[in-house]
Amino acid sequence: MKKTVRIKINGKTYEAEEGESILSVCNRENIDIPNLCFNEALAPYGACRLCMVEVVNGPGKKGMTTSCTLEAVEGLEVVTDTEQIVKYRNVLFELYLAQAPNSEEIKEMAAKYGVTKTRFAKKAKPLDPLGNKCVLCGQCVRVCDEIMGTAAINYIGRGFHTKINTPYLEKNDACMGCGACAEVCPTGAIQMEDIYDKRIMKSWSGTEVKLKKCKSCGRYFAPEPIAEFAYAKLDPEIKEELKDLCPDCRRKLLSRKEILISQGEVSKNED
């Protein structure tokens, strides 16, 4: 059990677990801080620079820092919206609006903080697989690597030329088609589509993943590698029964089983 510490945010005292990120605390306490690269499930990354707060008191360094990487310690005191933070954040929003001009999510977020225009030329790469919506927050890369252990996509190049895609910009057979990348993307940049028996990762060089066909209803329901990935974790006996069933048929099967069990016709498998 971790120690509970008391911290001050905008003058008000809150309790937090020692070492917990200040951004987590703010999210929990409904203190509004914009952010793009933070995800509770992933290690803090500190790239989007939107979640800046100012440390006014505490054992460490004072001044502006990102709240996602700032850990709660006893006596820490931060302010979330000084004039300086707002000023710099607005410039960052302008940079984002120019970098990802097609992202509605970015426009909405920036507008919420009063930034509706950018003084910088908007990016307009005609064949951008991410539709000029990517802000390189890296959540997709990190979820693919840290959570799925796949690393099908990664950063390519560096600096202003950085992009995210599969190696050699070719279809990549490491991809399991789980779609976690699209799920975590904060700007709606990642495109994928299920067409008949295939999932096409449109943003990832058209990587194709075969879909599993339900042995009961015949519908294609999940990427094969994901199904195998999940089955591998199941109890062998349950696996045999549930394998190759789509979620609907699985549910039907289970509820049928429940009924049979309740009627005493099948003994519940408990050991």
Which window, 4-12, 168-176, 224-232, 252-260, contacts another protein (CB under 8 A)? 168-176
21 burial class (0-12, 13-18, 19+ CB within 10 angstroms)?
Answer: buried
Interaction of residue 168 with another protein, rule CB under 8 A: yes
Tokens of 219: 């519908």
The answer to whether 135 contacts another protein (rule: CB under 8 A) is yes
Minimum Å gap between C-beta 60 and another protein is 7
Q: Is 86 helix (H, G, I), strand (E, B) or coil?
A: helix
Q: Provide CB contacts within 8 A for 161, sequence distance 6+.
A: none
151 near another protein (CB under 8 A): yes
**Contact letters (x/-) for another protein, 110-129, by CB under 8 A?**
---------xxx--------
Task: Decide: is 46 part of the binding site for another protein (CB under 8 A).
Answer: yes
208 membership: H or E segment, kind and range? strand 207-213
106-137 burial, b at 16+ Cβ within 10 Å, e below that, comes to: bbebbeebebeebeeeeeeeeebbbbbbbbbb
60 vs 19: CA distance, rounded Å: 13
* Least distance from another protein to the Cβ atom of residue 159, Å: 4
Residue 174 touching another protein (CB under 8 A): yes
Give whichever of 151 and 230 is closer to another protein, judged by the CB atom.
151
Q: Rounded to the nearest whole angstrom, what is the least distance from the CB of residue 158 to another protein in the complex? A: 5
Judged by CB under 8 A, the chain residues 61 through 90 that form the site for another protein are 64, 66, 69, 84, 87-88
Binding of another protein by 209 (CB under 8 A): no
The distance from CA 238 to its chain's CA centroid, rounded to whole angstroms, is 30
- Which backbone phi and psi does 77 adopt, to 5 degrees? -135, 125
Among residues 97 and 184, whose Cβ is nearest to another protein?
A: 97
Q: Say whether residue 21 binds another protein (CB under 8 A).
A: no
Q: What is residue 130's DSSP assignment?
A: T
For position 58 contacting another protein by CB under 8 A, the verdict is no
Assess 99 for contact with another protein (CB under 8 A): yes
Give the CA distances from residue 122 to residues 59, 132, 140, in Å, rounded to whole numbers and listed in that order. 42, 9, 23
Tell me whether residue 40 or residue 270 sits nearer to another protein (CB atom): 40
String of DSSP letters for 15-32: EEETT-BHHHHHHHTT--
**Residues engaged in binding another protein (CB under 8 A):** 44, 46-49, 52, 60, 64, 66, 69, 84, 87-88, 91-92, 95-96, 98-99, 119-121, 135-136, 138, 145, 150-162, 166-168, 172, 174
